[in-house]
Amino acid sequence: MKVIQMGVGGFGRHWSRILTANQDMVEVVALVDNSQDALDETCVEFGYAKTVCYTSLTAALADVSADILICVTPPQVHREHVTQALQADLHVLCEKPMASTIEDCVAMLQASRQFGRKFAVSQNYRYRPAIQTMARLVREGAIGEIGQIKLDFYKGWYFDTDNFRRTMAHPLIIDMCIHHFDLLRCITGLEPITVRGESWNPPWSDNSGDTSTTLCIELDNRARFTYSASWCAQGDFCDWNGNWLIEGDKGSIVYENGTITLNHAAGRYTIGRTESVVPDEMALTEQSAVLERFIAAINAGTRPETDVTDNLRSIRTVFAAVEAVESGQTVRVLPPEIEALLAV
């Protein structure tokens, strides 16, 4: 597949490494960024000729033939770049979050349907051995019917002054929680119904927006997901997956800093047997797995696992959480008009 990479600075550098490592799957035919310095640095580091560099997507689309756009620009401009590529007959794989507003998300969904191209979001956290293993245990019924879930995410993370997250109103919820809400759906197979909670910014935070939150999410089987998180914690108390406790009527799954423990219930409120679970092996992980599955879906004419229709459920949980913490009210994740859109 011939690829245009849009955005090569910041996290785009990581995607350049991924594409370079997967040249059996893709050929990069254009690099696009509004920073000439970022383009020059990418050419030097990854060995690209400067002839593949463009400072606008319009120029790249007019000059090269491509199959896929990898979009690694800030979320507030995803709609512009994604829609332009879809209209030009390219499939699009976009970095998370899908967009900064639900209106932009809906517009991109409609564009994907209108132009008949595939549009997926890179939810790379799904494709980690521990995550896939926990999802498998749940599917196999290892802990029975899920009744409650707890996730703690406490990580100290500093953003440079020119990073767009530094001035976001809700950097934690919008830019980080999308991963955990998507993992919730991936691991449990359950869908969020309502959200309530609050957010705040500790006095030592370098960010202007709220970087700590506590949320309670009702799921479609009436289970509750309690989420406590901070992106400016005084120390790193977990890995990027967060620390999980998933409880069912037959036992529980505990994930903490890379270790999975499966607890088997023995009667009411007691554990009879505990076992450590070695994560399943995966040939490809993270963005490489996302890329492989996206290309496979294109070739097979099937829907990618994290396509726009699926990811709208994850991102709507994010927007509902923002509304909930700002209003102090319980907010429904999928309003009727979004449910109707997804049902098509």
Give the amino acid at 322: V
- Cα–Cα distance between 207 and 298 in angstroms, integer? 40
Residue 297 covered by a domain: no
pLDDT recorded at residue 208: 86
Instruction: Residue 49: count other Cβ atoms within 10 Å of its Cβ.
Output: 8
Asked whether residue 30 falls in the same domain as residue 165, the answer is no
Q: What is the DSSP letter of 192?
A: E
Asked whether residue 17 falls in the same domain as residue 110, the answer is yes
Asked whether residue 43 falls in the same domain as residue 80, the answer is yes
Confidence of residue 12 (pLDDT cuts 50, 70, 90): very high
Residues 6+ apart with CB under 8 A from 317: 177, 181, 192, 195, 217, 333
Asked whether residue 135 falls in the same domain as residue 251, the answer is yes
- Cα–Cα distance between 20 and 17 in angstroms, integer? 5
Asked whether residue 70 falls in the same domain as residue 133, the answer is no
Residues pairing with 60 in the sheet = none
CA distances 92 to 117, 144, 206, 241, 317, Å, are 8, 38, 34, 26, 22
pLDDT recorded at residue 100: 87
Query: What are 128-182's pLDDT values in tens digits?
Result: 999 999 999 999 999 999 999 999 999 998 887 777 787 788 989 988 999 999 9
Asked whether residue 83 falls in the same domain as residue 149, the answer is no
Answering whether pTM is above 0.85, one says yes
CA 18 remoteness from chain centre: 17
- Cα–Cα distance between 67 and 103 in angstroms, integer? 26
pLDDT recorded at residue 160: 79
Sheet of 331-332: strand order equals 271-277, 259-265, 251-256, 243-248, 146-154, 224-230, 212-219, 192-200, 331-332
Asked whether residue 143 falls in the same domain as residue 270, the answer is yes
Asked whether residue 107 falls in the same domain as residue 158, the answer is no
Query: What are 44-93's pLDDT values in tens digits?
Result: 999 999 999 999 999 999 999 999 999 999 999 999 999 999 999 999 99
- Cα–Cα distance between 319 and 315 in angstroms, integer? 6
**What CATH number did the domain enclosing 63 receive?**
3.40.50.720
Residue 263 covered by a domain: yes
* Average pLDDT score over residue span 111-117: 97
The yes-or-no verdict on residue 241 having pLDDT over 80 is yes
Asked whether residue 141 falls in the same domain as residue 193, the answer is yes
**In the block, which residue shows the tokens 């499939």?**
91
pLDDT recorded at residue 48: 95
Residue 242 covered by a domain: yes
Residue 64 covered by a domain: yes
Residue 80 covered by a domain: yes
- Packing angle between helix 102-115 and helix 336-343, nearest 10 degrees? 20
pLDDT recorded at residue 165: 80
Asked whether residue 148 falls in the same domain as residue 180, the answer is yes
Residue 313 covered by a domain: no
Give how many domains the chain has, as a whole number: 2
Query: What are 260-317's pLDDT values in tens digits?
Result: 999 999 988 889 999 999 999 999 999 999 999 999 999 999 999 999 999 999 999 9
Residue among 150, 157, 162 nearest 175 (CA): 157
Q: Which domain holds residue 40?
A: 2-117
* Average pLDDT score over residue span 322-337: 96
Asked whether residue 194 falls in the same domain as residue 220, the answer is yes
Residue 310 covered by a domain: no
Query: What are 216-233's pLDDT values in tens digits?
Result: 999 999 999 999 999 999
Query: What are 242-254's pLDDT values in tens digits?
Result: 999 999 999 999 9
Asked whether residue 130 falls in the same domain as residue 194, the answer is yes
Residue 240 covered by a domain: yes
CA atoms within 13 A on the CB side of 18: 21
**What CATH number did the domain enclosing 193 receive?**
3.30.360.10
Query: What are 173-189's pLDDT values in tens digits?
Result: 988 999 999 999 999 99
